[in-house]
Amino acid sequence: MGIHASNKLETLVEQLRQAKTVCALTGAGVSKESGVPTFRDEDGLWQKFRPEELANVNAFISNPSLVWEWYNWRRQLMSGVKPNLGHLALAELQDLVDSFVLITQNVDNLHRVAGNRDVIELHGNISRNKCHDCGKIFEKGDQETDFVFKPGELPKCPLCNGRLRPDVVWFGENLPVDAIERAWTLSQQCDVFLSIGTSSIVYPAAALPQLAKQAGAYLVEINPKPTDLAPMADMVFSSPSGEALPLIVQALKDSA
């Protein structure tokens, strides 16, 4: 490691040690090394459709089979994945700083599996279904139907016979109020904010690091392709999160 890189880690370790509250915001990039495709990279999800065309309530109403096909495929894909070194480092980080909150846009549950205790899910969780008509939420296993539905079959709500859908947040829908309110407040209160593996284009999540910076936090971006957030950041790691995060955690442990 060059002197420059080690100085950078020293500076960040100092910031993390002094911080009362550390927030991390994660996006699809953190799960890429687990084998979950991102939305907008070249090899991202279903290149023939833009995420805006599928993660969209109008698409679900006009073409529910297409939307269900996409979620079936993703559920199958996610059922076999495990946390990677980036997730595990974030779980370790929570015990190395004063107070740590993980805010995620991901629906894959991998931060909880990795061991993070305080996880704010901004965009829901793919392991649940919700009735589009009566709002009832079903955990995996609550329904009589299989979790991955048969092609052409549209799952129905066992209570009202309404249209079941994954319990995730689509474009044009509000984020869960408790989740976004808490994330908003914490972003304004925290001392260090880490933005990791997100393209920083989907709002309101993309506003959180900007909010943190404006309120005085030390802002760090970790992304192999730095985003429009980078010019605002105090420090940028242009590497995969599965590489950068273990280095940061190791440096923090070494300084103890």
Which residues are tagged catalytic? 123
Pick from ligand BJW, Zn ion, none: which does 202 bind, CB < 5 to 8 A by kind?
A: ligand BJW
| Residues of span 161-180 touching Zn ion by CB under 5 A | 162
- Binding residues for ligand BJW, rule: CB under 6 A, are 27-30, 32-33, 38-41, 44, 51, 55, 105, 107, 123, 168-175, 197-199, 201-204, 223-225, 227, 240-242
Pick from ligand BJW, Zn ion, none: which does 38 bind, CB < 5 to 8 A by kind?
A: ligand BJW
Minimum distance, C-beta of residue 106 to ligand BJW, in the bound complex (Å):
6
Site string for Zn ion, 100-139 (x = CB under 5 A): -------------------------------x-xx-----
Q: Given the complex with ligand BJW, which of 157 and 169 has the nearer CB atom?
A: 169
CA separation for the pair 61, 64 (Å, rounded): 6
Near Zn ion by CB under 5 A, which window of 159-167, 178-186, 202-210, 230-238?
Answer: 159-167
Q: By CB under 5 A, tell whether 158 contacts Zn ion.
A: no
Give Cβ neighbours of residue 23 (< 8 Å, ≥ 6 apart). Answer: 100, 101, 102, 103, 183, 186, 187, 190, 192, 193, 194, 208, 212, 217
Q: Given the complex with ligand BJW, which of 17 and 113 has the nearer CB atom?
A: 113
Q: Given the complex with ligand BJW, which of 92 and 121 has the nearer CB atom?
A: 121
Q: By CB under 5 A, tell whether 5 contacts Zn ion.
A: no
Q: By CB under 5 A, tell whether 154 contacts Zn ion.
A: no
Among positions 61, 66, 137, 160, the unique one binding Zn ion when judged by CB under 5 A: 160
Q: Given the complex with Zn ion, which of 112 and 136 has the nearer CB atom?
A: 136
Q: By CB under 5 A, tell whether 248 contacts Zn ion.
A: no
Q: Given the complex with ligand BJW, which of 17 and 207 has the nearer CB atom?
A: 207
The DSSP-derived string for the chain is --HHHHHHHHHHHHHHHH-S-EEEEE-THHHHTTT---SSSTT-TTTTS-HHHHSBHHHHHH-HHHHHHHHHHHHHHHHT----HHHHHHHHHTTTSS-EEEEE---S-HHHHHT-SSEEESSEEEEEEEETTT--EEETTSSSS-SSPPTTPPPB-TTT--BEEEEEPPBTSPPPHHHHHHHHHHHHH-SEEEEES--S-STTTTHHHHHHHHTT-EEEEE-SS--TTGGG-SEEE-S-HHHHHHHHHHHHHHT-
Q: Which residues bind Zn ion (CB under 5 A)?
A: 131, 133-134, 157, 159-160, 162
